[in-house]
Structure 1
């Protein structure tokens, strides 16, 4: 099978795929710019996808993961790799709002002979998740890996995942999450803060706090399993459980404020109530 113009056959993991030819989409400095390609594919994020495979292999040891959904699938590399490399998974549903991306997905599905296990749908990410939910699909794992912020897709993912299921969120909008743009951080994630000396750590906590509040709106609780920062993104893996009382406990005990001294680096955690007593650094004054 030949690839469309502007694409070339590449291998990632066990998958053989038609992917954008990086030689055609380079900036003046010679660096490949994935956003310029007709369908987004970032080879640097192979690390992200490798870790997703490892996580699903681990998760499938303790329970059957029948249905996996990648609603922002682009070329389909993640979903196809999951189908090929995690044999315990029965079905993978991929989606994208870009019809051309869906065409590329279908080419890659046929190229890897996974038609019986993987399907590609032309749909908005949130629409796809709610459509599957209306069909009473029991979604075991959702992978939210957008270009930018996961905030627009968080509620739909949290709402439609089955009790005890897993969700992974990628965020590449590190500047606001770190506090470089405080207004955007507040507007997008409901967090008040600014950049500091442990900004990557705080960025992960800001994302988790946002997801915890989103889940609590529908009486669900997030259980963080893996969280890390790498290159230009942060990534969190969560197990989602039902329970309004558990959500109350998480919000009261785990959501608060981190106070950081710019002079000496002293760090302390406060709840919303304790925060009223913060006046000066106990180390350097």
Structure 2
């Protein structure tokens, strides 16, 4: 209980102001939001102070546009080859098929700068979906698209990235043709549904592992997946336990730690694809500054999944001289040779306990420990 005199003094706190016998709340402080104009490539956008803009990632966006432009050439050539095969077959349709272009998904769009650049700098794009979970960011994407006159191509959506990609998964499985759309007629009005995507771009803050499983499912067969992971310290072996939890492999500190980080990220993408009968084809892998950036094509190949194990390996690295040896998971008959080489290395380095395993396996690690004891 407060006892206040009727004198003209004021007691102010952060929330309440007492003046004499009057009790009143502070009026909300109105701050004027300032905007920053950013010009990058052929796009010019306005960003509020609350939106984080990283100019270091400009190279990331530049290289992504270059890769997608080259992927578009491959996609068009495959479309022409497929059309020629259909025309030469007995089931050729009398009406020619028209190339409609590629559809792109930016799952974590933020301000939409990347999507605007896609619309301005990449030809033959039929649709760009710029998604963000924040309604304010979705509004900003729409404004930037209108400012750059690309509203017809850039379609902002407000949804969780994983939910959006999973909602496209059933359509991708039902309509596996990457060169067609689904048409639905309701009351003599034709609605066009882009049932899936030819290109999916994932550029999160931190690890990309939560998005990999849904991303490989929402792509058309042969689609392009662009993945960024900014937790380069984890991929380079700063915290091996965290790397195992996020990527399924133990990252250790070694001389080629950046290459190890890229291979571990590719391993995580392949593991996500293998669960759905798909394989990846790495096109370009980059380790830049504080992040890793990889570009892979995802293809449906249940037969190819059977041979994925031949491309995975256990890597052993000496903590003293950093000599490394690897053993492919599928070629288990080489284990004796690997153990022999490890034993010789143990004799040459008597004062060093030599090896750490990058990817652990069930039965071989106890045998290895017995050999090194």
Per the TM superposition, whether the score is higher than 0.5 is yes
**What's the CA shift for 1:265?**
3.2
Partners of 2:47 and 2:278 lie apart in 1 by 38
Larger radius of gyration: 2
**What's the CA shift for 1:10?**
1.4
Q: Write out per-residue CA displacement over residues 72-127 of structure 1, whole angstroms, 9 at most, x where no aligned residue.
A: 00010111101100012111001001111111111101110101111111001011
Q: RMSD over aligned Cα, in angstroms?
A: 1.9
Q: Give the match for residue 205 of structure 1.
A: 263
TM-score (norm 2): 0.67
8 Å CA contact retained: 2:279, 2:298: yes
**What's the CA shift for 1:280?**
4.3
Partners of 1:125 and 1:281 lie apart in 2 by 51
Q: Write out per-residue CA displacement over residues 217-238 of structure 1, whole angstroms, 9 at most, x where no aligned residue.
A: 0000011000010010001100
8 Å CA contact retained: 1:7, 1:20: yes
Relative to structure 1, the CA distance from residue 89 to residue 280 in structure 2 (aligned partners, 3 Å threshold; closer, same or farther) is farther
5 Å-filtered alignment, 1:92-171, equals 92-134=128-170, 137-171=195-229
- Equivalent residue in structure 2 for 1:10, among 38, 42, 52: 38
Count of aligned residue pairs for this structure pair: 265
Gaps of 5+ in 1: 22-37
Gaps of 5+ in 2: 1-31, 77-100, 173-194, 350-373
Q: Write out per-residue CA displacement over residues 175-220 of structure 1, whole angstroms, 9 at most, x where no aligned residue.
A: 2211210111111111123222211110001111111111000000
Q: Write out per-residue CA displacement over residues 12-32 of structure 1, whole angstroms, 9 at most, x where no aligned residue.
A: 1100101245xxxxxxxxxxx
Q: Give the match for residue 70 of structure 1.
A: 106
8 Å CA contact retained: 2:251, 2:261: no
Relative to structure 1, the CA distance from residue 275 to residue 83 in structure 2 (aligned partners, 3 Å threshold; closer, same or farther) is farther
Are 1:179 and 2:237 an aligned pair?
yes
**1:265 counterpart SS class:** coil
Partners of 1:256 and 1:162 lie apart in 2 by 29
Q: Give the match for residue 284 of structure 2.
A: 226
Relative to structure 1, the CA distance from residue 132 to residue 282 in structure 2 (aligned partners, 3 Å threshold; closer, same or farther) is same
**1:10 counterpart SS class:** strand
Q: Give the match for residue 327 of structure 2.
A: 270
8 Å CA contact retained: 2:285, 2:294: yes
Partners of 1:166 and 1:81 lie apart in 2 by 18
8 Å CA contact retained: 1:20, 1:39: yes
8 Å CA contact retained: 1:261, 1:281: no
Are 1:53 and 2:65 an aligned pair?
yes
Q: Write out per-residue CA displacement over residues 25-67 of structure 1, whole angstroms, 9 at most, x where no aligned residue.
A: xxxxxxxxxxxxx233211100000000000111111224420
8 Å CA contact retained: 1:41, 1:74: no
